[in-house]
Amino acid sequence: MKSTLSARQRLELRAARLLCTLPPRAQVRLSGRPPVRVDGQTLEPDLQLALSVLERRGAPPLETMPPAEAREAYRRQTAVSGGEPVPVGAVRDLTVQGAEGRLSARHYAPDEPGGPHPLVVFFHGGGFVIGDLDTHDAPCRLLCRHAGAHVLAVDYRLAPEHPFPAAVEDGRAAFRWALAHAAELGADADRVAVAGDSAGGNIAAVVSWQAAREGGSAPVLQVLVYPATNMAEHTRSHELFGGGFLLTRELLEWFAAQYVAGADPSDPRLSVLRAGNLSGAAPALVVTAGFDPLRDEGEAYADGLRAAGVPVVLRRFPGLIHSFFNAVGTSRVSREAVIEIAGATRALLAGRGSSRA
């Protein structure tokens, strides 16, 4: 279970929140740069200041660390950026069945009357190398609270210890477990969705695509937050935003080297955008960030789903960066975006039918 913040982390959180409350003009001035405008978009001032603060700290890039150290650094970072835990109905840790053994998971139950409420199986981001239940505790709580849904966060196996296809195979197994055990969690077994951010968005998309190919039970909705959908080629947004906006081209290459590990990057389980047939996939909410290298491939995937006849809601947050999903405790605009995503998830799930074949 996510621990409370240390005294130092609380101090860092207070400082970040104070900076977040400053007027936008003051935030830009403190960043030491003029407003950042790229591709017709303006970077949100609080994120411009946050990126400037990170640069001044001079912390070593994650890709220069061994994976174990990178994971710990990411935990420390998200412990502060996620803020204090948002209360929900109940939270408990458990295990679910993965592809090759049990996986740690965390169940968030909503504090709402009525029910049973839908279940969202969530896969965290982190390039398939870093991230865990704690790094994404904050957004999962907001999703539970504002979507009015149970959330089951899954701690799938990470590379390089477990390279491709371990993560997607664990995702498929965990989704099947959720379908079989939804009622035990107090959720509606006929409304089971998948969701994820970044690498987790890849897993959620692949789970949905493979369910459509194989028949049988499938998600009623896929919520893809800046998903990785094309590891076989770079897009224009990779060139525009591959430096200076947190997720760099060097970090992307490091993630790919750990996870892909010699596999064919055009395999649809790595690059679901390249799947020949997307018809029958679950209806989708696709979310992108304007200053994100993954922006264009996420939007291309939304276009591909639409072309295949899949209902899609696409929402770009033009002034946000990759990883805003983890900045809900220190960035007002990021928190508002996640709450909006959760509200859209609630609305879409309200009109969905059965997950069962």
Distance, CA of 125 to CA of 94 (rounded, Å) = 20
Q: Which of 3, 31, 81, 198 is catalytic?
A: 198
| 299 closest CA partner among 224, 231, 234, 233 | 224
Q: What are the b/e assignments for 312-337, b being 16+ CB within 10 Å?
A: bbbebbebbbbbbbbbbbbbebbbeb
| 292 closest CA partner among 236, 208, 331 | 236
CB 183, CB 189: distance < 8 Å: yes
Tokens matching residue 163: 């390279």
The amino acid sitting at 322 is: H
Tokens matching residue 99: 């592809």
**Residues 138, 143, 144, CA angle at the centre, nearest 5°?**
100
The amino acid sitting at 171 is: G
The verdict on whether 355 is a catalytic residue reads no
Strand-pair partners of 123? 154, 196
CA distances for 228 relative to 14, 133, 265, angstroms: 33, 20, 12
Q: How many residues does the chain have?
A: 357
**Residues 161, 162, 165, CA angle at the centre, nearest 5°?**
160
Listed as own residue / partner, the contacts of 158-162 with beta carbons closer than 8 Å and 24 or more positions apart are: 158/67, 158/71, 158/126, 158/128, 158/129, 158/130, 158/131, 159/67, 159/128, 159/129, 159/258, 159/259, 159/261, 160/67, 160/129, 160/258, 160/259, 160/261, 161/67
**Residues carrying an active site annotation:** 198
